[in-house]
A and B are shown apart, each in its own frame.
Chain A
Amino acid sequence: MADGVKPRVKVPKTAAAGEAIQIKTLISHQMESGQRKDKEGNVIPRSIINRFTCDFNGQNVIDVTLEPAISTNPYIEFAATVPEAGEFKFTWYDDDGSVYEDAKAIAIG
């Protein structure tokens, strides 16, 4: 697991049943594009978060394929429908095989 990779997610604490809410996600990750060269002129190999998914109570909300053109510290904002109380699961997949996760609960009210 890469050092200093930390997710940061904003989910409202409550929602009305069936309401669409805005979710903001960010993860601290260098997103090495594979375009840069080091001081000796060697290409620094690509190493990025290549996929992000959000699921709610087992159902998919969004599935994003990320390419090297996504900026360092990838930010993804999207809307989710909240049919009932439950938990959002956020998953980021790294080129190096690491998987980062975060979860946020939401109540109906």
Chain B
Amino acid sequence: MNLSRRDTLALGLGAVALTIMPYRANAAADDLIAAFTGGAEVTDGGVTLTAPEIAENGNTVPIEVSADGAEAIMVLALGNPTPPVATFKFGPLAGAQAASTRIRLAGTQDVVAIAKMSDGSFKRASSTVKVTIGGCGG
């Protein structure tokens, strides 16, 4: 098969390369969540995690977490070498139980936010972020 450089570039057009992290349950993350909740039940909803569907670059991914009435929100990246990302504890003068930051994601994976509510319950939200391999030079 004789591929000229033009052909190679043409084949490359439209091909989206994804790095996909193992899509299995992450044991380390489960331990961290259990430590945060003390083993209490975690239900869906009540916390919002905003993250891009496709990250422009995995090195700097903007995210936002928000949970009305939360004391703290813990963020985990299930596919990273180590899952912990950040824990936000809201003090008495917090204007809202929300925060934004920028994170590193090693590859396509689920990002999870666990909120500890002031009534002692725990809430969960999750978002799949696609992390792509860039163009020239990656």
Taking beta carbons and an 8 Å cutoff, which residues of A are in contact with B?
20-22, 33, 35, 55-56, 59-72, 74-81, 83
Q: Which chain A residues lie closer than 8 Å to B98 at the CB level? A: 78-79
Q: Are B86 and A70 in contact (CB under 8 A)?
A: yes
Q: A55-B91, A71-B103 are in contact. List 4 more A-B contacts (CB 8 A).
A: A22-B95, A61-B94, A79-B95, A80-B94
Q: Shortest 4 CB-CB distances between A and B: which pairs? A: A79-B95, A60-B91, A20-B95, A79-B96
Name the contact of A63 in the complex, choosing from B61, B85, B89 (C-beta under 8 A): B89
Distance in angstroms from B102 CB to nearest chain A CB is 4
Name the contact of B104 in the complex, choosing from A21, A69, A77, A78 (C-beta under 8 A): A69
User: Which listed segment binds A: B41-49, B75-83, B130-138?
Assistant: B75-83
Judged by DSSP, the binding face of B is strand
Q: Are A67 and B84 in contact (CB under 8 A)?
A: yes
Name the contact of B101 in the complex, choosing from A35, A63, A75, A81 (C-beta under 8 A): A75
* Number of CB contacts from chain A to chain B under 8 A: 96
Q: Which chain B residues lie closer than 8 Å to A70 at the CB level? A: 85-86, 101-104
Query: Interface residue count for B (Cβ, 8 Å)?
Result: 28
Q: Are A33 and B104 in contact (CB under 8 A)?
A: yes
B99 beta carbon closer than 8 Å to chain A: yes
Q: Which chain B residues lie closer than 8 Å to A55 at the CB level? A: 91
B92 beta carbon closer than 8 Å to chain A: yes
Q: Which chain B residues lie closer than 8 Å to A68 at the CB level? A: 82, 104
Q: Which chain B residues lie closer than 8 Å to A81 at the CB level? A: 93-95
